[in-house]
Amino acid sequence: MSDQNKHAHEKGIHRDFANDMTYGDYLQLDKVLSAQQRLSDHHDEMLFIIIHQTSELWMKQILHEMGVAKQCILQNNLEPAFKMLSRVSRIQHQLIQSWDVLSTLTPSEYMEFREKLGRSSGFQSYQNRLIEFTLGHKNARVLTVYQHQPELYQRLEETLHEPSLYDASIMALSLRGLTVDQAALERDWSLEYVENNSVREAWLTVYRDVEKYWDLYELAEKLVDIDSRQQQWRYNHMITVERIIGHKMGTGGSSGVEYLKKALEGRFFPELWSLRTSL
């Protein structure tokens, strides 16, 4: 059967786009699909570029979801945040799987074009920094990398000094009448969060009376999902880097694998992990 006969019943398909927007127009595919500019002639550089570009697109969506979710939590309107946070963890799953694809790049293949990267490195991903700041991992020293880009520097600095997603969640505990130290509610948001016993006890109260605090319990578990997935992403990143370049220094000047290993040591929401031992 010819294609013409197979699709004869689809008489409503629009075929004249002289004056209408197409799928490609809407998605601006001419810009998106022309952004993969290899600096070498090596076949596998295309994979390297596309993996990192798609990761940045997913990070953009994560920031979009977490930003609105945080505002909902700050407004004590938790339920809409659950869908957004659940979506974040699903996106993280996509990012975790991307390392499996990149690991098909062998050390010999990567060495064919690595020098073309110059000093550019994933360490410089400002969206990854924004995600870490939003989750509560604050580090003012990394801002120096972005001094040559004033707009990015300002955005990062603003996020550094804002309450994190976890800070907003701790405020939600207090708004529900749970006892939280003022030191955890009115701190310098630009500093790394330090585990607080009153926060741990407040979360314990939630977990011991799930029926009464169902929305806070649901929020806590969404946060644990995100923390867990972020650690998986970090681990897979570290393993992939070790598999491809061993213990060489990173292109951006970091210690490479050793730097990535150190990132695995911390948790974004420490009390949500430590309380499990006490339940």
To the question of whether residue 73 is assigned a binding role by annotation, the answer is: no
Residue 222 and residue 86 in contact, taking contact as beta carbons nearer than 8 Å = yes
To the question of whether residue 13 is assigned a binding role by annotation, the answer is: no
To the question of whether residue 170 is assigned a binding role by annotation, the answer is: no
To the question of whether residue 48 is assigned a binding role by annotation, the answer is: yes
Distance CA 103, CA 237 (A): 10
Q: How many CB atoms lie within 10 A of CB 33?
A: 10
Distance CA 254, CA 111 (A): 18
Q: How far apart are the first and last CA of the chain?
A: 66
Residue 137 and residue 192 in contact, taking contact as beta carbons nearer than 8 Å = yes
- The residue count for the chain: 279
Residue 138, burial from CB neighbour count under 10 angstroms (0-12, 13-18, 19+) = buried
Q: How far is CA 6 from the centre of its chain?
A: 44
To the question of whether residue 9 is assigned a binding role by annotation, the answer is: no
Q: What is each CA distance from 259 to 6, 69, 129, 238, 255, in whole angstroms?
A: 57, 30, 15, 9, 5
Distance CA 176, CA 183 (A): 18
To the question of whether residue 239 is assigned a binding role by annotation, the answer is: no
Distance CA 245, CA 251 (A): 11
To the question of whether residue 226 is assigned a binding role by annotation, the answer is: no
To the question of whether residue 110 is assigned a binding role by annotation, the answer is: yes
Q: What φ, ψ does residue 62 adopt, rounded to 5°?
A: -60, -45
Give Cβ neighbours of residue 237 (< 8 Å, ≥ 6 apart): 99, 260
To the question of whether residue 126 is assigned a binding role by annotation, the answer is: no
The binding site for heme comprises 237
The binding site comprises 48-52, 110, 114, 237, 251
The binding site for substrate comprises 48-52, 110, 114, 251
